[in-house]
A = this chain, B = another copy of it.
Amino acid sequence: MTTTMRDVAKAAGVSVATVSHVVNDKPGARIGEDARRRVQEAIIALGYRPNALAKTLSEGSSRFIGLVADAIATTPFAGQIIHGAQDEAWRHGFVLLVANTEGNAAAENDAIAMMLEHQVRGILYSTWYHREIEVPPPLQHTETVLVNCFAGDDSFPAVVPDEEQGGRTATEELLAVGHRRIAFLNTTTSSPARDRRLAGYRSALEEAGIAFDPALAFETAPDQEGGYAAVDGLLASGATGVFCHNDRVAMGVYDGLRERGLRIPDDMAVMGFDNQDVIAAHLRPPLSTVALPHYELGAAGVRTLLGLDAPAAGARQLVSCPTVLRESL
């Protein structure tokens, strides 16, 4: 049995309009203190719950924030974006409505249309890996914040990981334990991660007074197979430490080194990137790495959408990538 506004009015001895005014906290509605108190008591006694939809209609926007994602919820990688966005949304009284569209443009347009019909406060548009996107047309006239992606012309506020700082930090950790000849197994895939992590690697070397040696900068497939295939070249380069584009590449390097009877970190120090669950902490030895700040990306996206963090004018808000040290250095 649902308690209605009519039940509350009856119990409080007032009109339904009076209950409505109290529930919706209408400014300017003249309601006596006594009537207001009786309504509030009746609401509590009867467990009355105002219909959120009716409330939304009268207020013009709902307590929803939409999150439209390509594959965040379903790839075993960037789920913490949802976690961070959700926690931050809850904190401010919003429910996060997640639509994971698997890159299907029709599903994406439907999801956005439905969210707009439901008068969401705004939409976070997010991708499971950091990249430039074409912002879908229906978002052009909607309160939108891009998370883990950005528009080429920076015409939308965007929150992205600081890949360059991440690459610099990874390299600095190898420098800090005494390595001077440090290889970088970068990805063959064109992406902000490839370009900016390389820039970070170079700037850390430069800061340490070490000339960049192109013979130490490799490109390989960004997975275990790519890391494994790169081991011969890595050993031939004379490197004593290696910064891997991601933890999967590092896992392949582990396999390749082990097959050659080499030990980590004694024969080769290994640094990963991503701090990917189910891999990084569970390699032998556990992998030192740089974490992608997925949780913080989601939370910062919500704060920007709600106007709590001012968006950097025409630019991307960079979130830093923290180091996670284990035993591979």
Interface of A toward B, CB cutoff 8 Å: 49-54, 56-57, 62-63, 72-77, 79-80, 82-83, 86, 90, 95-100, 102, 107, 110-111, 113-114, 116-119, 223-225, 228, 248, 251-252, 255, 258-259, 276-279, 282-284
Contact = CB atoms under 8 A, between A and B. Distances in A.
Contact of A83 (B52, B73, B225, B251): B73
Instruction: Give the number of times this chain occurs in the complex, counting copies.
Output: 2
B76 A76 contact: yes
A258 to B, nearest CB: 6
A55 B144 CA distance: 25
B79 A74 contact: yes
Contacts of A102: 83
B100 A86 contact: yes
Contacts of A284: 224, 228, 255
Contacts of A259: 258
A52 B117 contact: yes
A203 B221 CA distance: 43
B114 A63 contact: yes
Contacts of A54: 57
Which 10 pairs show the lowest CB-CB distances between chains A and B? A76-B76, A52-B117, A224-B282, A74-B79, A98-B98, A74-B83, A73-B73, A73-B82, A76-B277, A95-B114
